[in-house]
Structure formats: C-alpha cells, structure tokens
C-alpha cells in the first residue's frame, strides 16, 4: 500500500512539475505590432508588474494590452522613453501567465521607434 501511494504521489508531483515547466518555457505565438504607445505603468499590490497599452487605430478602438517582465530592463527603459510615440513591439504570446509575470499573456521582447503612417511628411 505504501509503495502504491508513493508511486501515485510521484506521478502527481512529476505532472505538476511538467505543467509549470511547460507554462514557463512554451510560447503560443510570436509577432510584431505597431501603434502609438498610450500607457505604460508599474502596478500591482502583491506583485508589481509592468503593464502597457498600444493604440492600433485612429480612434483608439483597437487597444493591444501587454506586459513586460522585470528582467527586461532595456525594454522597460525604452518604453518609458517612447511613451506617446509610434512604436513597433516584438512580442511572444504565452498559453498562460503567472501573477508575478504580468496581467496579460503578451510579453514584449523588443521595442523600436517607428514613423507614424498617419502623419504626413
């Protein structure tokens, strides 16, 4: 009986470890989005996370919400500097997120300043 309980406990523990390892490393998609960076803030009560919003249309009807991990210091500083400007964001989408990573499933990897297609030169 002890041996069976030990095997069951081992299988359950192994399953939990595999699940969290999958969530940590697996990505659902990756891509690039462009728009005006309208919001970037450090928020939270128990876990402070970096959250932002990108407006992808003239009326602001299409809002792309994203998170930035604390370890990405360059991305955080670039987003702070470029708030209010037209930017191109490279991101990965995860299946799920942990509360200490951020509120969304979209995590920014790189930020580039772009010229707005709405402003004529």
Which structural domains are found in the chain, ordered by start? 27-113 (2.40.50.140)
Residues 6 or more apart whose CB falls under 8 angstroms from that of 66 comprise: 51, 52, 53, 54, 89, 91, 102, 104, 106, 107, 108
Contact in structure between 41 and 50 (CB atoms under 8 Å): yes
Read off the pLDDT band of 100 (50, 70, 90). confident
Read off the pLDDT band of 120 (50, 70, 90). low
Residue 25 vs residues 38, 57, 66, 99: alpha-carbon distances, Å: 29, 32, 18, 16
Lowest mean pLDDT among 54-63, 84-93, 98-107: 54-63
Task: Please state the pTM of the whole predicted model.
Answer: 0.81
């Amino acid at each position: 009986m002890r041996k069976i309980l030990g095997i069951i406990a081992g299988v359950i523990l192994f399953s939990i470890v595999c699940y969290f390892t999958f969530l940590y490393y697996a990505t659902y998609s990756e891509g690039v989005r462009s728009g005006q960076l309208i919001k970037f803030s450090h928020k939270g009560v128990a876990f402070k996370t970096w959250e932002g919003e990108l407006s992808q249309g003239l009326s602001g009807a299409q809002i792309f919400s994203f998170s930035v991990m604390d370890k990405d210091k360059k991305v955080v500083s670039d987003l702070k500097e470029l708030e209010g400007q037209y930017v191109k964001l490279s991101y990965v989408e995860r299946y799920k997120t942990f509360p200490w990573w951020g509120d969304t499933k979209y995590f920014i990897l790189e930020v580039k300043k772009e010229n707005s297609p709405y402003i004529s030169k």
